[in-house]
């Protein structure tokens, strides 16, 4: 299915200063290489000396070879070299283009890295107006309480509220709350993960004043003293709630290993947790694990399986490196029933059984189960309907139903579609999702983007035109997936959730969460409404009228 990803950090501005905004890399090198880009020039260089190195080792070795510590690199780690199907492209310490295996694509091309260094100018179309507006734009972002909290504790601040409420997927999908997990709360990590610049010192990506990323050193164990950044909210789920491992040092160590070896934290944590449930169910045996006791709560087994997968060691490590669907085909029995995935991509560690809108988001997202493509996270805030109406009626009018209740199915299909276009607009512009209507209802969106785009680049696009670009992109992604075999209710390639969402109620959490599950009939109706809002037929295929309206009637992906 669709592979698509992005990341923060410092590589992209360096590439722009080097004279380029886009690269299209075709073919495969005969031997390992890296691409060197400097002030308008591109060179392909031998990478034999960095093949096999970790993410950070690779970046420093290339800087040393080029005799310039300001070189920025996008690299694949050992997981990408070994074609782990959810390997990342990495830059810096932890910035990760994750989820859909772009690191494996780099590895398949024998492309170890893209290095960039530039001193060329970047023209600002309207400098004085841009300075004034950019300041207001940034002030709007940093004044939001959600970003002020992130600037103190990072994204792990989300963990406490979500877990206490009962929205955290635990032991693969058996529970929805991780109990007795105080050791992995951000305040606890703040206590033990000291860095030379002070406890839990925060840093950020290029040009960002939020600084949501923590710096730490592992306090004990075999990796004691190793420096890293994070962990993010996703690491708490991948290495704590899903495998039911609740030790902070395990969390920090696992986070470090995936950063060094270049593999997606969410995917690898989810697939190991799935294997743990299979092991406890007897579907996997000690023979399959080469004697490893793959029980939930076994911290050592978790860390060992991360290594085995990244280096494709042992039968199970090699099988799990190919991703959940292929692994289920090899493991057999009824293993697929326990795999919590959509379109081949494992779910985030959240549990959406009590939140129909979020369930619709992960089912219909273009690259598979995804919290970054259309997640209406503000649906959990119980915002007044008039506030929702103001958000969801711009830049295109909407007079349909809306509900402030996160347990409701009413109006949620439009909310998911709106966020789908919002986040696609964010990705097209190169803006962080935390700087828009993702977790904060007052953060910038289409009206602000039109202005920031004009003052900085000179491009004149109305909010509605930005919406149209986003809608066009989303439909092209849909056409791509349809060409690759997407059908509406296919459990491997469709807009459908694992049966456990409908059949197994939540066991823990707040009163409105306990007993919650997705109503199958109401969910199917939501999908019908979602397709109708999009201008798709009942099978989820864009109609000829929709493609004509968007200006892509001859886009080849729909010629099935």
330 and 378 housed in the same domain: no
Structure tokens at 351: 């549990």
Q: Cα separation of 83 and 105, whole Å?
A: 8
172 and 108 housed in the same domain: no
Q: Does some domain include residue 297? A: yes
Q: Does some domain include residue 143? A: no
Q: Does some domain include residue 52? A: yes
299 and 237 housed in the same domain: yes
Checking if the pLDDT of 402 tops 50, the result is: yes
**Kind and range of the H or E run holding 131:** helix 127-142
> Could you give the angle at which helices 356-364 and 412-429 cross, rounded to 10 degrees?
50
Q: Does some domain include residue 145? A: no
Q: Quick one: average pLDDT of 525-530?
A: 98
Write out pLDDT tens, residues 333-382: 999 999 999 999 999 999 999 999 999 999 999 999 999 999 999 999 99
Write out pLDDT tens, residues 475-521: 999 999 999 999 999 999 999 999 999 999 999 999 999 999 999 99
Q: Choose one of 346, 381, 401: the last residue of a domain.
A: 346
Q: Does some domain include residue 403? A: yes
What contacts 214, CB < 8 A, 6 or more positions away? 153, 154, 189, 193, 200, 201, 202, 203, 229, 230, 231
The CATH number covering residue 50 comes to: 3.60.9.10
Q: Pseudo-torsion of CA 536, 542, 547, 549, nearest 10°? A: 10
Q: Does some domain include residue 134? A: no
CA distances from 519 to 177, 360, 373 (A): 21, 12, 23
Are residues 118 and 283 in contact, defined by beta-carbon separation less than 8 angstroms?
Answer: no
Angle (CA) 360 362 366, round 5°? 105
pLDDT of residue 194: 64
463 and 412 housed in the same domain: yes
Classify 52 in phi/psi space as left (phi over 0), alpha (psi -120 to 50) or beta.
left
| pLDDT-based confidence at residue 193 (cuts at 50, 70, 90) | confident
What ranges make up the beta strands (E) of 164-236?
194-195, 198-199, 202-203, 213-217, 227-229
Q: Choose one of 117, 143, 176: the last residue of a domain.
A: 117
- CA 409 to chain CA centroid, Å, is 25
546 and 409 housed in the same domain: yes
What contacts 373, CB < 8 A, 6 or more positions away? 361, 365, 366, 367, 420, 423, 424
337 and 375 housed in the same domain: no
Q: Quick one: average pLDDT of 379-408?
A: 96
User: What total of structural domains would you count in the chain?
Assistant: 3
The CATH number covering residue 537 comes to: 1.10.599.10
Q: Quick one: average pLDDT of 465-470?
A: 98
Q: Does some domain include residue 140? A: no
Checking if the pLDDT of 330 tops 50, the result is: yes
> Phi and psi dihedrals of 263, rounded to 5?
-135, 155
Q: Residue with structure tokens 């033990």?
A: 192
CA distances from 325 to 26, 340, 346, 370, 484 (A): 27, 10, 10, 17, 15
Cis peptide before 395 (omega within 30 of 0): yes
251 and 331 housed in the same domain: yes
Checking if the pLDDT of 276 tops 60, the result is: yes
Q: Does some domain include residue 216? A: yes
Write out pLDDT tens, residues 105-162: 999 999 999 999 999 999 999 999 999 999 999 999 999 999 999 888 889 989 988 9
Are residues 159 and 186 in contact, defined by beta-carbon separation less than 8 angstroms?
Answer: yes
Domain enclosing residue 90, as ranges: 11-117
Structure tokens at 449: 């983007």
Checking if the pLDDT of 269 tops 50, the result is: yes
329 and 477 housed in the same domain: no
């Amino acid at each position: 299915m669709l592979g698509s990803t992005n990341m923060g950090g410092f590589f992209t501005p360096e590439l722009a200063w080097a004279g380029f905004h886009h690269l299209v890399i075709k073919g495969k090198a005969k031997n390992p290489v890296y691409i060197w880009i400097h002030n308008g020039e591109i060179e392909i260089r031998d990478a034999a000396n960095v093949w096999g190195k970790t993410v950070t080792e690779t970046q420093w070795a290339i800087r040393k070879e080029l005799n310039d510590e300001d070189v920025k690199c996008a690299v694949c780690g050992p997981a990408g070299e070994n074609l782990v199907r959810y390997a990342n492209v990495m830059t810096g310490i932890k910035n990760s283009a994750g989820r859909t295996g772009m690191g494996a694509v780099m590895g398949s091309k024998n492309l170890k890295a893209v290095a960039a260094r530039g001193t060329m100018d970047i023209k600002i179309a309207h400098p004085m107006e841009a300075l004034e507006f950019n300041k207001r734009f940034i002030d709007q972002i940093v004044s939001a309480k959600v970003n002020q909290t992130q600037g103190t504790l990072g994204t792990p601040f989300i963990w406490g509220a979500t877990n206490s409420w009962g929205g955290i997927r635990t032991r693969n999908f058996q529970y929805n709350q991780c109990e007795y997990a105080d050791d992995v709360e951000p305040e606890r990590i703040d206590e033990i993960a000291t860095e030379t610049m002070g406890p839990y010192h925060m840093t950020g990506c290029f040009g960002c004043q939020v600084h949501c990323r923590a710096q730490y050193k592992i306090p004990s164990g075999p990796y004691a003293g190793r420096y890293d950044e994070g962990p993010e909210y996703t690491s708490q789920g991948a290495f704590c709630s899903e495998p039911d491992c609740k030790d902070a040092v395990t969390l920090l160590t696992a986070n470090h290993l995936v950063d060094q070896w270049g593999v997606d934290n969410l995917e690898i944590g989810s697939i190991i947790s799935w294997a743990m449930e299979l092991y406890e169910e007897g579907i996997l045996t000690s023979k399959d694990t080469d004697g490893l006791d793959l029980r939930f709560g076994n911290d050592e087994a978790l860390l060992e399986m991360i290594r085995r997968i990244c280096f494709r060691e042992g039968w199970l490590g090699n099988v799990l490196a190919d991703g959940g669907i292929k692994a289920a085909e090899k493991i057999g029995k009824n293993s697929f029933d326990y795999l919590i995935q959509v379109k081949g991509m494992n779910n985030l560690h959240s549990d959406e059984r009590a939140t129909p809108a979020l369930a619709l988001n992960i089912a219909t997202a273009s690259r598979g189960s995804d919290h970054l493509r259309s997640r209406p996270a503000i649906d959990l805030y119980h915002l007044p309907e008039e506030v929702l109406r103001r958000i969801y009626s711009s830049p295109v009018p909407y007079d349909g139903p809306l509900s402030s209740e996160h347990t409701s199915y009413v109006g949620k299909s439009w909310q998911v579609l709106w966020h789908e276009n919002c986040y696609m607009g964010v990705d097209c512009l190169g803006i962080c999702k935390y700087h828009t209507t993702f977790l904060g209802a007052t953060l910038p969106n289409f009206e602000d983007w039109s202005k920031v785009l004009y003052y900085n680049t000179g491009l004149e696009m109305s909010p509605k035109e930005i919406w149209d670009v986003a809608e066009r992109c989303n439909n092209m992604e849909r056409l791509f997936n349809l060409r690759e075999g997407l059908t509406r209710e296919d459990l491997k390639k469709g807009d459908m959730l694992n049966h456990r969402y409908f059949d197994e109620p939540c066991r823990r959490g707040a009163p409105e969460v306990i007993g919650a599950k997705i109503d199958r009939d109401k969910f199917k109706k939501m999908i019908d409404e979602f397709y109708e809002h999009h201008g798709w037929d009942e099978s989820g295929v864009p109609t000829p009228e929709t493609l004509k309206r968007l200006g892509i009637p001859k886009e080849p992906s729909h010629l099935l």
